[in-house]
Amino acid sequence: MNIETNFNLEATPERVYSLMKLIEMKRYTQEELKQLVHPISKEGELNKVLKYLTDCKWISKNSHNQYELHFEKKYLETIDLFRKRLNSILFDGDKTIFYMFTEWVVTNDERILGIKVNDYTKENSDLVREGKINFHLQWRLWARFLGFGNLHNKIFIPNPSDRIKDIIDFYHHEQSLDKPIPLNVFLNWLITKCPELKNCLVDNNISTFLSLAFRELHDQKIIKLEYHQDFPYIWYLTSSMFHEIDRQVTHINLRGDQD
């Protein structure tokens, strides 16, 4: 299973999911799909979404020029399941421009809350690659959908709690559940699934927005953060006087959904 993260602007999460649901129900030609989505979508937009799905190898044309689905149907039952499946494979393979945007945003501190999304490339020229000067337009749509944060008045507020929750849910069989495990063990596992979070961990300090995500998951009872006296490996969240978990954490108890 692959995902092409060099998204085009027309291939929004909702359009991608909706078109796959149509093809799941029946094999259609491109002309038939055009009639179904008109006038909701322009033909050029439809073509770009179809190209995106083809590039991902989630659909292909058969000998009758009809599109066939090559995506697990159980993950198309709801758009949340679809998102969870995408998160499970999101950054497999090469580091794309979407990866670069995401890594830069989630590893920043509160300073990024004063920067509009369309000014990201002014702050970091490395984010301009392959001539995609306006890639921030599609990045913000997919970053919000995949659970990296929320968009408010052109400001993106990083909070990867939903992304982490999807990973815990999808790979729950790889971790011990309902019992404390050392946080360093969990973090080593997490960054193999979410490599964009690696730079959020520096000298046993957890960055601002990853700390926010962990506290939110703790409040939702998806995880429980714990401090065990005399345990040698201590991690430090960004300080918060308003939360029951101030700074020191040694263990985590995973309480994610178990399918």
User: How does pLDDT run across 140-187, given as a tens digit for each residue?
Assistant: 999 999 999 999 989 999 999 999 999 999 998 998 888 999 999 999
C-alpha to C-alpha distance for 52 and 45, rounded to whole angstroms:
11
Inter-residue contact 105 to 148 (CB < 8 Å): yes
Q: Mind listing the pLDDT tens digit for each residue in 91-122? A: 987 788 999 999 999 999 999 999 999 999 99
Tens-digit pLDDT profile for residues 200-225: 999 999 999 999 999 999 999 999 99
Distance of CA 75 to the CA centre of its chain: 16
What average pLDDT does this structure show over 70-84?
97
Residue 258 confidence class, pLDDT cut points 50, 70, 90: very low
**Contact status, residue 19 vs residue 33, Cβ threshold 8 Å:** yes
Q: Which two tokens stand for residue 49?
A: 């979404």
Residue-range domain boundaries for the chain: 13-76, 79-162, 174-254
- What gap in Å lies between CA 130 and CA 118, rounded to an integer? 17
Tokens of 231: 């345990």
**Of 3.60.15.10, 3.40.50.2000, 1.10.10.10, 2.60.40.1080, which CATH number belongs to 13-76?**
1.10.10.10
